[in-house]
Structure 1
Amino acid sequence: MSEAVREAPRKQRREIRNIHVTELMNYRQPFSAIVSIMHRVSGFLMFALLPFILYLLQESIRSEISFAHFQGIASHPFAKLVILALVWGYMHHFCAGVRHLVMDTHVGLDKDSARKSAIAVLVITWVVVILVALKLFGVF
């Protein structure tokens, strides 16, 4: 009996190996992983730029002179890029957070739905960021 068990054909299993640092550029992350990583990055970005946000808020509401100073700061191209980065961080964090909340209710957990919702988060985020960038840099 033990001979029959030993002679049974074995299924070929997929080889799983560790990825070396030099192979990271060749490895393609799924959209869900990209959204999850960017959710963490956007949260850190908003936290790191919190002093800048509070400074701009203070300058905008203190007095008319400080509001003129705020307008001068906000009109600088570098400040516009920082504001645009904050808009991206907020929009991505918000959209990915809604996606995670929906997934916490056990909706859209299968592979195809998770992929579609991740793509939707990326598309919605970039559409809003592009519209804000066009408005911020005076295109319309």
Structure 2
Amino acid sequence: MTDQAKPRPEFRNINIFKDVRTYRLPWAGKVSILHRVSGMLMFVLLPFVFWMFDTSLSSEISFATFKGAFNEGLGFVPGWFVKLAALGLIWSYLHHLCAGVRHLMIDMNHERITKEWGASSAIVTLVVSLGLTVILGAKLFGLY
């Protein structure tokens, strides 16, 4: 009696309604998609970054306005939402940086990269970027 491996499903034409729910994306794929999402988020929030930079450096009065935007809000936008947008920007920068370093390591050592290394490095990338985001988010929300 021979042991035959269970045949793996072959996805040639993925049906968005049937196959996507059951398809299990590996950790490396999730990190790669998040790398793209974080890059897009940084691009979309670029005007917010320019505003923060310009407002914080213009004068003492504009810095007080900038600080007030994070505490009291900005017009109809509450302060917690401004902090949440800044936290999204912090996460996108940190994740994009960590995933970019991971991609550079893969590019430099592509002959020696295994599936196991890819999966473990993807998990490390997620843990490091989320851990740093939590630390900086705690500072942003005034927990220390």
TM-score of the pair, normalised by structure 1: 0.86
What pairs with 1:47-86 in structure 2 (closer than 5 Å)?
47-75=43-71, 76-86=79-89
More helix as a share of residues: 1
Which residue does 1:46 correspond to in 2? 42
TM-score of the pair, normalised by structure 2: 0.83
Distance 2:8 2:94 in 1: 39
Q: CA deviation at 1:13?
A: 6.2
| DSSP 3-state at the match of 1:16 | coil
Report which of the two structures shows the higher radius of gyration computed on alpha carbons: 1
Structure 1 residue runs of 4 or more that deviate by more than 2 Å after TM superposition: 12-15
Distance 1:112 1:89 in 2: 25
2:96 is matched by which residue type in structure 1? H
**Which ranges in structure 2 are unaligned for 5 or more consecutive residues?**
1-5, 72-78
Cα separation, partners in 2 of 1:57 and 1:105, compared to 1, 3 Å:
same
Q: CA deviation at 1:111?
A: 0.3
Aligned-pair identity in percent equals: 44
**Which ranges in structure 1 are unaligned for 5 or more consecutive residues?**
1-11
Alpha-carbon RMSD across the aligned residues, in angstroms, is 1.6
